[in-house]
Chain A
Amino acid sequence: MNGASSAVVVTDLVKRFGDFVAVDAISLEARKGEIFGFLGPNGAGKSTTIRMLCGLLRPTSGQAQVSGLDVATQPEQVRQNIGYMSQKFSLYNDLTVSENLNFFAGMYSVGRSDLTSRLDWAIDMAGLRGRENSFTGTLAAGWKQRLALGCAVLHRPQVLFLDEPTSGVDPLSRRKFWDMIHTMAAEGVTVFVTTHYMDEAEYCNRLVLIDRGKIVASGSPLELKQKYMAGDLLLVECDEIGTALELLQGAPGVDDAAIFGNALHLVVPKASAAIAAVTSYLSQHGITVQTIEPIRPSLEDVFVSLTTARTGAATEKPIP
């Protein structure tokens, strides 16, 4: 691993809470200017990993470097070089927009010469021009979230950590938010983001899929789709979808079946051969197929097939 082009380097990182292993020997690397997506079901260890990278939690073992600085031994320098925004909105609702910005600028010691332009930039970016003296608590979620992003990047951090930044925000605001993320990445900021919106995952340059503390897959969205979806994908619309699912899961020539919305997705070795076989198999069992067609796999397919493959009787544990 070379430090020059890597913004985040993680080697065998482990976090235990008592007997519970929240993060189990994770290794990963995010390059400069990359949008690095961190995916996984709730309780998979995403937030715990981010919190270790920000110096909020001490790793049980392993190493993590952010901007070439060790998070365990140089947490203060690390913090000067990162921005962090968590899923829980955390600005002061009883302070005004500009009071919040001034406070965080002070916390990051933004220089006097840079201060005015950075504050202006943040206000424009958040679309809050003219509302500088509004109380933050009165803003709608989308504005709050953009203001929080503004506060987190006033000091021009090299690495930006976003922990489910768009939960509870309307689609239009999410869109705007991602536009800003792309702009920052284009300027060389490394963005490390956790999400469970699959459409957002498609925006990332690179993805790591994590489940129960372990990395189960990694690569670009395209690579993941090609690599982890061996075979073709079929969309099936039919009656009695539940019965059909049960039948198809054990059917010959079907590798996997899962419900997506009100249809089924099937993983089959070859689409052209499977269409006829599946249709007749289902009609033998009295189920009429309305539609059956090959589709391109989405990340959600990859995500579901990778995590369901591993899901036994494991129960989710919340992160303490």
Chain B
Amino acid sequence: MIGRLRHMLIKEFIQVFRDKRARFFLFGPPIIQMLIFGYAATLEIKHVPTAIVDYDNSQVSRDLISRFTASRYFDVRHRLADSRQIAAVIERGDAVLAIQINAGFARRVRKGQVAHVQVIVDSSNSNTALVGLGYVNEVTGAFAGDYQLETLQRTSPLAIARMPKIVLDRRPWYNTDMSSQWFFVPGVIGNLLLVIVMTLTAFAVVREREIGTLEQIMVTPIRRAEFILGKTIPFFLIGLFDALLISSVGTLWFKVPLRGSLAVLTLGTVLFLFCVLGIGLFISTVSLTQQQAMVTGFFFIMPSIIFSGFGSPISSMPTFLQYLTYINPMRYYQTVLRGIYLKGVGLEALWPHLAAMALIGGVMLTISILRFHKSLE
């Protein structure tokens, strides 16, 4: 038993590490993707390309505009003389926001009348549009408040003392700077492990089926369990090593703090890998060719990531989809990753998530092993 498994493992490792390209594939892309994801996967909206049309050309309007140019959220790229140019600029994608200040703006403000500022926004990306509008609102609101305050100070300084004021004291926990990099980097670990380990496992089995060696092995006295272990142990170890590699990039390069226990993180990773190996084996039982395995794999990867809370929060999904996320191991792993990295919580908070992964992993592996037996027929 041990002898056969040992030979199976030797063979798998020789095959995996034999050529340079395969070796690179195991460890190169994870690091590169971590770097790409770390920089590019962000929810923050900064430097919104903005166009401004100022028909008023007054001291007040220039004041307001300077608030936009000074803000890091806006990148005022175009000062247009004519509002008819707005459409062209937005159509080309040179600007997402256009702010138009009409003639008479300063006069109306001074008279205490309602002064309109028109904002045109490219809503094809609804999120950017929404956030951008929010920023505009904030900037103009602050401008209006300051202007009122100044006016009051000149006219009736006493009234200022009696003005009610509500000030927000912001205390962001866990991620003080609210850096979305900190939010995404731990999550990327889960995504990369899923893609790499699932694909490798599924392909390793399907390739043997495709070239006929699976049949040749199955006429030897090898037990199914030995074969399955021989096929999963290498990718389990590679997965663990990749996890170490990617998380090192997160900690050393992106300086994402690892506040919780490394042991709990390792436990969570091991349980998650069980789930992924289960899915990989499952794919290998429903695919006859590597091409089929790839398409089936894709079918698993997309929903796993979308329904995990990696990007958009689960709480904003429709209720029935929220229930669906409970069978997604990635959902629990994401919670574990962010819980340990950013919140620094331990077993006391994360045990339900770990237990869920253990359960899903157990079920998944059992189904796959049973299916695997049948698929040999």
CB of A90 closer than 8 Å to a CB of B: yes
CB of A54 closer than 8 Å to a CB of B: yes
**Which of B1-9, B109-117, B266-274, B300-308 is the contact stretch?**
B1-9
CB of A94 closer than 8 Å to a CB of B: yes
Beta-carbon contacts of A95-115 to B below 8 Å, as 1s and 0s?
Answer: 100010011101111000000
Query: Are A91 and B11 neighbours in the complex by a CB distance under 8 Å?
Result: no
Chain B residue numbers with a CB within 8 Å of A277 are none
Query: Are B221 and A56 neighbours in the complex by a CB distance under 8 Å?
Result: no
CB of A89 closer than 8 Å to a CB of B: yes
- Bound: A94/B10 CA distance, A: 13
Query: Are B213 and A94 neighbours in the complex by a CB distance under 8 Å?
Result: no
Task: Identify B215's interface contact among A56, A80, A82, CB under 8 A.
Answer: A56
Question: A76 — nearest CB in chain B belongs to which residue?
Answer: B221
CB of A260 closer than 8 Å to a CB of B: no
Shortest beta-carbon distance from A60 to chain B in Å: 11
Question: A102 — nearest CB in chain B belongs to which residue?
Answer: B7
| Best-surrounded residue of B3, B11, B14, B15 (most CB of chain A within 10 A) | B11
Query: Are B212 and A108 neighbours in the complex by a CB distance under 8 Å?
Result: no
Query: Are A90 and B377 neighbours in the complex by a CB distance under 8 Å?
Result: no
Shortest beta-carbon distance from B9 to chain A in Å: 10
Shortest beta-carbon distance from A75 to chain B in Å: 9
Query: Are B221 and A79 neighbours in the complex by a CB distance under 8 Å?
Result: yes
Chain B residue numbers with a CB within 8 Å of A86 are 212, 215-216
CB of A57 closer than 8 Å to a CB of B: yes
Query: Are A80 and B14 neighbours in the complex by a CB distance under 8 Å?
Result: no
CB of B376 closer than 8 Å to a CB of A: yes
Chain B residue numbers with a CB within 8 Å of A54 are 219
Chain B residue numbers with a CB within 8 Å of A90 are 211-213, 215-216
Beta-carbon contacts of B206-237 to A below 8 Å, as 1s and 0s?
Answer: 00000111011111111100000000000000
Query: Are B223 and A93 neighbours in the complex by a CB distance under 8 Å?
Result: no
Known: A91-B216, A99-B11. A106 touches B221 (CB 8 A): no
- Bound: A11/B376 CA distance, A: 24
Task: Identify A106's interface contact among B4, B216, B223, CB under 8 A.
Answer: B4
Question: B220 — nearest CB in chain A belongs to which residue?
Answer: A107
Chain B residue numbers with a CB within 8 Å of A107 are 4, 7-8, 217, 220-222
Chain A residue numbers with a CB within 8 Å of B7 are 102-103, 106-107
Beta-carbon contacts of A33-71 to B below 8 Å, as 1s and 0s?
Answer: 000000000000000000000111110000000000000
Chain A residue numbers with a CB within 8 Å of B18 are 94
Known: A90-B213, A95-B11, A106-B4. A84 touches B377 (CB 8 A): no
Question: A95 — nearest CB in chain B belongs to which residue?
Answer: B14
CB of A92 closer than 8 Å to a CB of B: yes
CB of A88 closer than 8 Å to a CB of B: yes
- Bound: A103/B9 CA distance, A: 10
- Bound: A55/B373 CA distance, A: 13
Q: Which of B220-271 contact A (CB under 8 A)?
A: 220-223
- Bound: A231/B106 CA distance, A: 120
Query: Are B220 and A108 neighbours in the complex by a CB distance under 8 Å?
Result: yes
B interface, size bucket: 20 to 34
Shortest beta-carbon distance from B282 to chain A in Å: 21
Chain B residue numbers with a CB within 8 Å of A55 are 219
Question: A55 — nearest CB in chain B belongs to which residue?
Answer: B219
Shortest beta-carbon distance from B215 to chain A in Å: 6
Known: A57-B377, A92-B11, A99-B14. A108 touches B213 (CB 8 A): no
Query: Are A95 and B15 neighbours in the complex by a CB distance under 8 Å?
Result: yes
Chain A residue numbers with a CB within 8 Å of B8 are 106-107
Chain B residue numbers with a CB within 8 Å of A92 are 11, 15, 213
Shortest beta-carbon distance from A205 to chain B in Å: 24
| Best-surrounded residue of A82, A89, A107 (most CB of chain B within 10 A) | A107
- Bound: A23/B219 CA distance, A: 20
Chain B residue numbers with a CB within 8 Å of A82 are 219
| Best-surrounded residue of B10, B11, B212, B221 (most CB of chain A within 10 A) | B221
Query: Are A103 and B11 neighbours in the complex by a CB distance under 8 Å?
Result: yes
Query: Are A108 and B15 neighbours in the complex by a CB distance under 8 Å?
Result: no
Chain A residue numbers with a CB within 8 Å of B219 are 54-56, 79, 82, 84
Chain A residue numbers with a CB within 8 Å of B377 are 56-58
Question: B15 — nearest CB in chain A belongs to which residue?
Answer: A94
Chain A residue numbers with a CB within 8 Å of B19 are 94
Shortest beta-carbon distance from A101 to chain B in Å: 11
Query: Are A109 and B15 neighbours in the complex by a CB distance under 8 Å?
Result: no
Shortest beta-carbon distance from A186 to chain B in Å: 24
Chain A residue numbers with a CB within 8 Å of B213 are 90-92
- Bound: A82/B14 CA distance, A: 27
Query: Are B216 and A79 neighbours in the complex by a CB distance under 8 Å?
Result: no
- Bound: A92/B222 CA distance, A: 17
Chain A residue numbers with a CB within 8 Å of B15 are 92, 94-95
Question: A96 — nearest CB in chain B belongs to which residue?
Answer: B14
Q: Which of B2-36 contact A (CB under 8 A)?
A: 3-4, 6-8, 10-11, 14-15, 18-19
Chain B residue numbers with a CB within 8 Å of A103 are 7, 10-11
Shortest beta-carbon distance from B134 to chain A in Å: 57
Chain B residue numbers with a CB within 8 Å of A99 are 11, 14
- Bound: A79/B222 CA distance, A: 9
Query: Are B376 and A108 neighbours in the complex by a CB distance under 8 Å?
Result: no
Chain B residue numbers with a CB within 8 Å of A88 are 211-212, 215
Chain B residue numbers with a CB within 8 Å of A91 are 213, 216
- What are 17 A-B contacts defined by CB distance under 8 Å? A55-B219, A56-B215, A56-B376, A56-B377, A79-B221, A82-B219, A84-B216, A88-B212, A90-B211, A90-B215, A91-B216, A92-B15, A103-B7, A106-B6, A106-B7, A109-B3, A109-B4
B-contacting residues of A (Cβ < 8 Å)? 54-58, 76-77, 79-80, 82, 84, 86, 88-95, 99, 102-104, 106-109
Given A99-B11, A106-B4, A106-B7, 20 other A-B contacts at CB below 8 A? A55-B219, A56-B219, A56-B377, A76-B221, A80-B221, A84-B216, A86-B212, A86-B216, A88-B211, A88-B212, A90-B213, A90-B215, A91-B213, A94-B15, A99-B14, A103-B7, A103-B11, A106-B3, A107-B7, A107-B222
- Enumerate the 6 nearest inter-chain pairs by beta-carbon distance, A residue then B residue, closest first: A106-B7, A90-B212, A107-B220, A90-B216, A88-B212, A84-B219
